[in-house]
Structure formats: C-alpha cells, structure tokens
Amino acid sequence: MTQPATLPGRSLSLRVRVALAAAVAAALVVALLAALTSIVLANNDNAQLDRRLDSIVNASMFPEQLRDPSRVLTTGRSRSTGQVVFQRGFQLPPLPPGTATVTVNSVDYRVRTVTVEQSGGVLVSIGIRADSILLSRARIPLYVFIVCLAVLIAAALGWILAGPAIRPLLRLTEQTRRLGKGSDQLEPVRGAAEAEDLSDAMAAMLHRLAEAQVATTNSLQAAQDFAANAAHELRTPLTAMRADLDTLRIHDLPPEEREEVVGDLSRAQRRVEAIITALGQLASGQLARAEDRESIDVAEMLDRVARENVRSGAVEIIVEADEAGTVWGWPAGLRLAVDNLVRNAITHGEATRIVLRARRYEWLLAITVDDNGRGLPVEEHQKVLGRFARGSTAMVGGSGLGLALVAQQAVLHGGDIQLSDGPLGGLRAVLTVSTYPEPVLPTGQA
C-alpha cells in the first residue's frame, strides 16, 4: 500500500529571514571593511615600523632617553669577527646592514642593523616587536570577536525592526483565516506597500469569486425555473397532443374530423414552441451581465421593430422618437420587450394602428405603445404582467409569458411597465428604462 506523501517542513518566517539577512549583510560589510583596512594598513605597516626604528636607533645612542628599553632588543657584533660585543634583551641573529623581519623566541621583530664606526667597527641590530602595529596576528582573536559581536547585534536589530515591517502581513493573514467564518470581506491593510498591493489583489480576487458565485447561482436558478415552468406548462399541451395522436392512430376518422384533429395538433405544437422560446428568453434575462450592456439608439430600435411587425399583417405603425437619443442596456432584451408589446397589440388586441413614442424625462426614458385594439379590462392590467397569466381577450395559443418578459426587461433596465386604457381606444403600455450610465440590476443579479 502506498504511503501518503509527506508535506515538506515549513519555511522560515519573514522575520527570521530579515534577521538572517541583516546578520549576513553586517558580516559582509564588516569583513569588507576589515579587508580594506588591513590592505591599507598593511601597506603602511613596514613604513611605520621603519620610522619607529629610526627614532629608536637614534635614541639607542642615548640609552637614558629610551622610554621602554625592555621592549627593544639590541645586539652589537664585531664587524670583523662577528662576536657579540653587547646586547640588551634577547639576542638578535647576525644580520647585514639594513632592515629585516626576524623571529626571536616565536615573536616577530622588525630589526634595523647599522654600522657604528668604533672599536674597529660594530654592527648594531635594534629590533622592536612587529605586533605593536594595529593589525597583527596576536590581535586576530580580538578582531574575530568584534566581527561576531557586530553580526549578533545586526541580527538582533533585524529581528526587532522586522516586527513592525511584517505586522501588516500578519493582519492580512489573520483576516484571510477568518474568511468564511463570519467574515466574507478583507479590510484594507496599510503599513507596507507590498502588503497593501497583496491586500488589494486578494480583495479583487474575492470580488471576482463573489461575482462568479452569483453568476453560478443565477444560472442554477434559471435552469431550475426553466425546468419547473416547462414541466408545469408543457404538461397540458403535450397531454392534448398525445390524445390527438392516439385518436389519429386508433380511429379511422372522416376527413373533416381528421383535419380538425390535425389542426389541434398544429396549434398545440405552436403553443409548446412558444412556451419553450419564452422560457428560454426569461432564463437569458436572468443571466444578464452588466459588462454585456451596450449603447442603444432608441429611435433606430423602434424603427426596426415597426418595420418587422408591419410586414406581419395589415397594421399601421407610427414612430415618434426623434429626440430619444441613446441609453445603455441590453439591445436584444430591450428590443424583445418593445416587440412583445407591439405583437401583443396586433395578435391579442387585433389593433390596426399603433403609435410608438419615446420621450426622455430627467433620468428616465419612457417608451409608450398606444393601439386602437380591443384593450383589456382594468382589473387585468396588473395581473397579465405575471408569468403564464393570460388576459380575457387573449387569442388561443399564447404562452402567457410575453408581458412577463416585458416586466423582466423593465426591471433589468432600471424601470417598470404600466398598462392603462389608451387614447386610441385600445391599450396603452408605458415602458420606462433608466438613463443612468451605471446598471441598475435587481438584488441577486450579476
């Protein structure tokens, strides 16, 4: 059986990383400074020692002027025999005239050898400790200690100063943990540019996820509504169609009766088609998105609706919308709403004359549809705006969803729909839409 993969250990915290980075940076800076200083001082060490030797050599001629004779080695040798004539401190090795560095009893000495013309000539060697300079091997442990101390101090300061720097990230992390546990939003985080950018990015991501969730919810709701409404409304016409088909299959009907049954089947088929089409349009309206809106030329839209409906029957349609201008909305949806009002007047009101008007009133655009049809009882003006509601004057075969689609589009466009008795003798429908550039979507709409 395979073993579950183990998760790698947690990474170092940002605060520890800052402290380590500060320590490494301090070590590099101190090491670089030490190296540069040692190079500079090393170049001057011999010259400094030689100058000190010069002064000591001169003072050695007058021993009473030496401040610390114990730290100066002096050895005199006969120039001819090499025998030691005199010495002070440890004996220096035989050396030719000049300057050299020698080791005596494991200690480095800088030695100057000069010739003194007395008693047949004497070579006098005078030496001082080489570790009297700043950078010497004897002081290396001290330097290492200073470097280590500087690194530790830098690490401690990095740890302390990193606290306030990472505090905004800690607040952002805490808010993220609370998401879905009573909190669905991130409060703005301030204090560090990176944390602010991350906070803004996360807030934008959550906003997109919320929009996607709403869109998914709307899609699911639209599908559920479609299925429920279709199952409810299609049951009756489909049952009637099955009965008519059984009648045609079982009975040998006379031509007249057979033609009547076929006519019933044709009407039921058209009703089923109309119901499915209208339900699909309703579902599309539920899924309307603000980013799909476009600028709509109202006069052009009304002209197109008029031209298409004039071809379908003997009806006169007049358009008065020269100053209507444009509005932002869903072109297909708004056109569907106006088209349904016109078709409703022609089909169910049997109108022969229709007037389409568009007028702007501050933040609203009103599209008025007047017809000379047979109208609708006042008590039904509000009822027919519901789904599957049909007026008492409606023709057979409708879906009962035409005016419901108009009401849906009115809400989507930030307005409403009002029915009343019209001046031409038939029905007046006033569809209002918002002229604001921003969408006015109903609650829960994406």
The burial of 55, by beta-carbon neighbours within 10 Å (0-12 exposed, 13-18 middle, 19 or more buried), is given as exposed
Mean pLDDT of 44-49: 66
CA angle at residue 323 from 319 to 329, to 5 degrees?
Answer: 85
Backbone angles phi, psi at 121, to 5 degrees: 100, 125
**pLDDT score recorded for residue 7:** 46
Give per-residue pLDDT as tens, 319-348.
Answer: 998 888 888 888 888 888 888 888 888 888
| Predicted pLDDT at 323 | 83
Q: Highest-confidence range of 46-50, 67-71, 245-249, 436-440, by mean pLDDT?
A: 245-249
pLDDT band at 260 (very low <50, low <70, confident <90, very high): confident
Q: Which residues of 148-181 are buried (b: 16+ CB within 10 A; e: fewer)?
A: eebbeebbeebbeebeebbebbebbeebeeeeee
**pLDDT of res. 40:** 66
- Identify the pLDDT of residue 336: 81
Asked if pLDDT for residue 197 goes beyond 80, the answer is no
What residues are paired with 115 via a beta bridge? Answer: 123
Measured CA to CA, the distance from residue 74 to residue 77 in angstroms comes to 10
Angle at 12 between CA 7 and CA 16, to 5 degrees: 170
Residue 27 banded pLDDT, cuts 50, 70, 90: confident
C-alpha dist (Å) from residue 369 to 331, 355, 376: 18, 6, 14
369 falls in which pLDDT band (50, 70, 90)? very high
Q: Long-range contact list for 65-74, CB < 8 A, 24+ apart?
A: 71/128, 71/129, 71/132, 72/126, 72/127, 72/128, 73/104, 73/109, 73/111, 73/125, 73/126, 73/127, 73/128, 74/124, 74/125, 74/126, 74/127
Between CA 260 and CA 107 the distance in angstroms is: 131
Within 10 angstroms of residue 327's Cβ, the number of other Cβ atoms is: 26
Query: For 151-182, how does the pLDDT look when each residue is reduced to its tens digit (9 = 90+)?
Result: 778 777 777 777 776 777 777 777 777 776 66
Rounded Cα distance between 192 and 166, Å, is 8
Topology at the third CATH level for domain 292-446: Heat Shock Protein 90 (3.30.565)
Over residues 394-399, mean pLDDT = 58
Stronger pLDDT, 388 or 64, i.e. the higher one: 388
Which pTM does this prediction carry?
Answer: 0.46
Position with higher pLDDT, 110 vs 392: 110
Q: Write out pLDDT tens, residues 65-123.
A: 444 445 688 888 888 888 888 888 888 899 888 888 888 888 888 888 888 876 568 88
Instruction: Write down the pLDDT at residue 371.
Output: 93
CA distances from 81 to 85, 122, 425 (A): 10, 10, 151
Q: What DSSP designation does 80 have?
A: T
Instruction: Tell me: pLDDT of 444 over 50.
Output: no
* Residues across the chain: 446
Q: Lowest mean pLDDT: which of 114-118, 285-289, 350-354?
A: 285-289
Q: Read off the pLDDT band of 396 (50, 70, 90).
A: low
Q: What CATH architecture is 185-287? A: Orthogonal Bundle (1.10)
Per the structure block, which two tokens stand in for 425? 């003798």
Q: How many helices (H) and strands (E) does the chain have?
A: 7, 12
Alpha-carbon torsion 382, 385, 388, 394, what sign?
A: positive
Higher-confidence residue of 262 and 45: namely 262
Helix (H, G, I), strand (E, B) or coil at 46: helix
Domain ranges of the chain: 14-142, 185-287, 292-446
Q: Give the angle 180-182-187 at the CA atoms, nearest 5°.
A: 85
The three-class DSSP label of residue 413 is coil
pLDDT class of 6 with cuts at 50, 70, 90:
very low
The answer to whether the CB of 144 falls within 8 A of the CB of 136 is no
